[in-house]
Amino acid sequence: MTGRLEGRAAIVTGAASGIGQATADLFAREGAMVLAVDLPGKGLAEAHDHAYVTPFEADVAADGAAERIIGKAIETFGKLDILYNNAGVSRNALAEVMTDEQWDITLAVNLTGPYKLCRAAIPHLKESPAPRIISTASVMARMTDYGLSAYCASKAGVAGMTRTLALELGKFGITCNYIEPGAIHTGMTGASFADENIATIWAKKAALRRLGQPIDIARGALFLASDDAGFVSGHGLTVDGGLTLRT
């Protein structure tokens, strides 16, 4: 039996831990050749022992990073079928005291970096028989909370960018979708959820009464990357265990 992504070439950013690590490994188990991207010093190589996963250290927000990342994928695999923009940061601060640096890094990593990767990937995706662009947004793309002005703006931007790309690229058969995770236990949220009281509160908010795990989002990404989602484009897939049902 072949995997659902057999023979396809994929890029997964933010792949040293959490959602990115789970997705890169799941894609590889399903037959994809994966370029796993994350910052230097994040233990990227140690996070992946699958023969189909190639680690590549890069900062998605750095000048020229998109061209280097896409170029590495083409050099390594000879093609590109799937781009999964997953790398993300959060700099929480009330708007009145948020610094320019906090705002700029959040937008650079969460929105501008993915846009530049999409732009660099499009010419290669046009050559793929099953091209996919997937990005990690958040339920905060359409909700909010204190201190999240930059984060919410960046994730709403991911949603708007993805819908526009879906419209522009549909004639080439390129599907473009985004995922809206809820409360997921990842590296970004680990410090907060290490507090049992906080973890319990957020688990109770979800209809399924638990925190999400990285594999929950990875499975959603696999669906959007697979042939099963061949007629799905411009869609935001909410994977939140029912967190947003009552809010």
DSSP 201-247: HHHHHSTTSS-B-HHHHHHHHHHHHSGGGTT--S-EEEESTTGGGG-
| Pair of tokens at residue 71 | 């170029």
Percent of the chain with pLDDT over 90: 91
- Mind listing the pLDDT tens digit for each residue in 37-71? 999 999 999 999 889 999 999 999 999 999 999 99
pLDDT score of 241 more than 90: yes
- pTM, entire model: 0.96
**Rounded average pLDDT over 13-35:** 98
Cα torsion 142, 236, 115, 54 to 10°: value is 130
Task: Quote the pLDDT of residue 246.
Answer: 83
**Rounded average pLDDT over 99-126:** 98
pLDDT score of 191 more than 80: no
Task: Quote the pLDDT of residue 79.
Answer: 98
| Pair of tokens at residue 86 | 């997953």
Q: Helix, strand or coil for residue 33? A: strand
Task: Quote the pLDDT of residue 23.
Answer: 98
Q: What is the DSSP letter of 77?
A: H
Catalytic residues: 151
pLDDT score of 195 more than 90: no
CA distance 29 to 221: 14
- Which pLDDT band holds residue 9 (cuts at 50, 70, 90)? very high
Q: Which of 177, 60, 69 is nearest to 111 (CA)?
A: 60
**Rounded average pLDDT over 210-220:** 97
